[in-house]
Structure formats: C-alpha cells, structure tokens
Structure 1
Amino acid sequence: MTFRYRYLWAAVILLAAAAAVVTLYEPDGSRAQPTDIREQIMTRMRTTLEQSTPEQHQHAGHGTGQTATDPAVICGVRVYGFEPAEATTLAGVRTVYGFHLCGVAEPERPWDVAVKLAGPVILDLSTDPPGIQVVEATAEVKYVDRLRQMFPERYAQLALTQALSEPEMAELRRRYDDAAGL
C-alpha cells in the first residue's frame, strides 16, 4: 500500500467512527436507543390507540362516537421516551410517553373536517390491554401543570414543544385518506 492510500483508509475509519458516535446520542444529549426498539414502540403505540374503544380513548368527555361498524380511527404518534429507559426489547418497556394525533376516518370525509383526538399520551404496557392516559386540565389544575404532574421532566419539556414529525404527519394523512376512501 502506498503512503497516500494509508491516509485514505485512516480517513474512512475516522468517518465511520464519528458516524457511530453521532448515532449513539439524541439531540438533547441523552443516549439514543436502538432504532428498532423505537420503531417497535411506535408501532405498538399506534396499534394500541387505533384499536382502543371510545371509552379508553376519550378527551374531555368527548368520545369518538364509534360503534363496531363505524369507520376506523387512524393515528400518528411520536415517542418522547419510555421507562425503563435501559430497556432493549419491547417486552422490557413498561411505560411510553409520547404524543398522538388521531382522526376518525369516515367515508368521503376529508381530514380537515374529521373528528380528531390529539395531545400528549402515556401508555402503560404492563397491563393487557395497555392503559391509555391523556393529559387533560381539570377545574383545579391547569393543562401545563397536569402535564408536568404526569410526565417526567425530560419528556414534559418535549411534550410542550413537539408534536408529530413531518414524515409521520404525511404518513398519517396518507393512511387517513386511504381509510376514508379519498
């Protein structure tokens, strides 16, 4: 090997090592989880919300109005984090903190006028079916205070500033349109 190629290989190795280090950490500086577990959690979260009954998935006393023959609930989700944070398999995850935006897909009803349910959500995966808790204000407790009561601080800050990512929102709209026959 010539001297020039040794430097090329050294540069390639350094770039690969730098890429590996970058993928180990989230933007907030916390250690990143393997992509596959986050994707598994997102899938489980979406499936749980889409299969929940109106009683399980109510916001401020407003159910979806669904019966067994009504259209589907189509959801987009964002995972802020999960506990225990060191879990490496979906089976090891007990609690998921995130955001959801769901629309009731009725035939020929466009997204803009669909019934929607949205906001920070906590899923308890230690129960069957998983428990669903949404953040809601009460007569005594403001919304932001209730959010901080329910979410660990590191996830509460995300819940106050982040909703669905652009790709997740685009996928939600595509799935909604398919379900509504648009």
Structure 2
Amino acid sequence: MQDSPVTAEPAVPAPPTRRPARRRWPIIALVLVCLTLPAAALAVQNPGWFSRSSGQPGALPDRLRIPLAEQAVSALENAPQIEHLGHDEDNAGPRRVMCTADPFGIDPPDAATVAEVRWVYAQHLCVIGQPGLPWDYATKSAGPVAVGLGNPPVVRLPVPQIDYRTQVRQLIPARYQPMAFGSFAHPQLVASLRQRYNHEVASKKTS
C-alpha cells in the first residue's frame, strides 16, 4: 500500500517588522523658528511695522493715531466745507461745529513720527447746531476725509452730486480704500462726540 503524497502547506510570510515612526517634530520646529526669526527681527527694529502693514482698520499705532486725530479734528472744525453746511436750513443764531476723526492711514505710509506725516486719511463725523437743538436734528457730515497737515491745513471731502465712490477712490490711496469704505474702527469716538454735543449744545437754552 503506497503512502498518500504529503502536500506541503504554503509558507506564510512573516509580518513585516514595523519601524518606529520617525519623530519629525524637531525638524518642523526648526523650520518654523527659521521662518519666524526674520519677522521678529523686523518687529524689534520697527515696532510699528506690523500695524502699518496690516491694512486693517485702526492699524495705526496710538502714538501716531491719537495726535493725528487731534490735528484732523482741528482742521475739520475750522474748514469752510463743514462750517457752511446747513446754513440755509437753520439761521436761528450762532452755531457750534464739533467733530471727531478716526485716522486709518497716512502719507508717507512709512512715516514713523507725527512730524513726518503730510496727509492723514480718516473717518470723520462732524455735527453742527445751535444751542438747544437735539442731536437728531443737527446737521452732520460723515465719511472718509483727507487732511493735509500744511499751514494752513487742507480738508478734502466728497462733494454732493458727483459719484461718491469715484471721489473716494480719487481722495484716498488704494492701500487704504477698504477702510475708507468702512466705518469707525473706534466707535467710542462717535459716542463721545454725541455726549459732548448733548452736554455743550443740545442742553443749552436759547436766549
């Protein structure tokens, strides 16, 4: 009797040895450090660089924004374009002109001090009214403005009966136009102006 042939079972390959995953995070961290060092160096040399380059509303550092706002307000409150608003509507007596401004841009754009700034670009709000006139009924001017800080200062505003957006593009450099078509980056300035007007003008009795 012949023995039955023995069929050899196919060899099962051993599972591959898993190599431990390489820890790549030290390399990634090194790359990130190399990329951030140049920007950090720029920030140390010129702390206002990021804010001036961000292109966001309110990006001017306070050391420029606050004193430039004061100069813009002074120019606006003495500008003929503002002073003559609404003269045909209310001739009941002396009027007060009160303004606020929120600068969002400057020219030259890399000016580091107030003395270097030649033009200020800002959102403005001016209110004009006689004593006793409520805020809601007072004449107002609002929107983007270009103020030249010469002697005397120059105020440039969009005028009625001409396409508004075209005028703004002509007044405001392209880098600042997104902010020009926006609103106040610091709305507390508007609230403060309204409080001042109510206290100093609206609350006063007419003689």
Q: Structure 1 length as normaliser, TM-score?
A: 0.71
Aligned equivalents of 1:181 and 1:110: distance in 2? Answer: 5
Identity of aligned residues (%): 32
Q: Paired residue for 1:96?
A: 120
What residue identity is the alignment partner of 2:85?
Answer: G
Q: How does 1:46-65 map to 2 (within 5 A)?
A: 46-52=73-79, 55-57=80-82, 63-65=85-87
CA pair 79-105 structure 1, distance change in 2 beyond 3 A: same
CA pair 42-133 structure 1, distance change in 2 beyond 3 A: same
State the aligned residue count.
155
C-alpha contact 1:124 1:131 (8 A) present in aligned 2: yes
Q: Paired residue for 2:129?
A: 105
Q: Paired residue for 1:155?
A: 176
The structural deviation recorded for 1:144 is: 0.9
The structural deviation recorded for 1:162 is: 1.8
The structural deviation recorded for 1:150 is: 1.9
Aligned equivalents of 2:143 and 2:55: distance in 1? Answer: 23
1:116-135 deviation digits (Å, cap 9, x = unpaired) = 11121101113x11001002
Q: Structure 2 length as normaliser, TM-score?
A: 0.64
Describe the SS at the equivalent of 1:75: strand
The structural deviation recorded for 1:76 is: 1.7
The structural deviation recorded for 1:23 is: 7.8
**Gap regions ≥5 residues in structure 1:** 1-16
CA pair 106-137 structure 1, distance change in 2 beyond 3 A: closer
C-alpha contact 2:60 2:104 (8 A) present in aligned 1: no
C-alpha contact 1:72 1:179 (8 A) present in aligned 2: no
1:84-111 deviation digits (Å, cap 9, x = unpaired) = 1222222211011111110013211111
Larger radius of gyration: 2
Instruction: Give 1:41's match in structure 2, choosing from 68, 87, 94.
Output: 68
Q: Paired residue for 1:26?
A: 51
Alignment RMSD: 3.0
Instruction: Give 2:158's match in structure 1, choosing from 105, 128, 135.
Output: 135
CA pair 165-156 structure 1, distance change in 2 beyond 3 A: same
Aligned equivalents of 2:160 and 2:96: distance in 1? Answer: 27
The answer to whether residue 100 in structure 2 is matched with residue 76 in structure 1 is yes
Aligned equivalents of 2:186 and 2:125: distance in 1? Answer: 11
